[in-house]
Amino acid sequence: MDEEQTNSPAPASLQVLPKYPELILAAIAAVDEKNGANKSSISKQIEATYGSLPAAHSTLLSHHLNKMKASGELIVVKNNYVKPDPNASPKRGRGRPAKPKEPLPEGTDVVVSPPRSRGRPPKPKVPLPEGTVVSPPRPRGRPPKPKVPLPEGTVVVVSPPKPRGRPPKPKVPLPEGAVVTPPRPRGRPRKPHDPLAPSPVKATQSVSGRKRGRPRKSGGTSTPVSSPPNGERRGRGRPPKLQTPAADPVEA
At 9 the pLDDT is: 44
At 230 the pLDDT is: 62
Q: Who wins on pLDDT, 55 or 141? A: 141
Q: What is the pTM of this model?
A: 0.32
Q: Tens digit of pLDDT for each residue in 41-79?
A: 888 888 888 877 788 888 888 898 888 888 888 888 888
Nearest to 21 by CA among 95, 56, 71, 85: 71
Q: Tell me, rounded to whole angstroms, the distance of Cα 185 from its chain centroid.
A: 53
Structural class in CATH, domain 18-82: mainly alpha
**Torsion (CA) 18, 22, 23, 24 in degrees, nearest 10:** 160
Bridge partners of 37, per DSSP, are 81
pLDDT of 13 > 70? The answer is no
Report the distance separating Cα 206 and Cα 212, nearest Å.
Answer: 7
- Using a 10 angstrom Cβ sphere, with 0-12 exposed, 13-18 middle and 19 or more buried, the burial of residue 39 is middle
Instruction: Collect contacts of 22-26 with beta carbons under 8 A, ≥24 apart.
Output: 23/50, 24/61, 24/64, 24/65, 24/68, 24/74, 24/81, 25/73, 25/83
pLDDT of 166 > 80? The answer is yes
Q: Using an 8 Å Cβ cutoff, are 73 and 21 in contact?
A: yes
At 217 the pLDDT is: 78
Q: Where are the domains of the chain?
A: 18-82
Average pLDDT over residues 10-16: 50
Q: Who wins on pLDDT, 245 or 4? A: 245
E strands, the chain, in order: 75-77, 80-82
Average pLDDT over residues 188-197: 78
pLDDT of 111 > 80? The answer is no
Q: Tens digit of pLDDT for each residue in 16-43?
A: 777 888 888 888 888 877 778 888 888 8
Q: Tens digit of pLDDT for each residue in 119-140?
A: 898 888 888 888 888 888 888 8
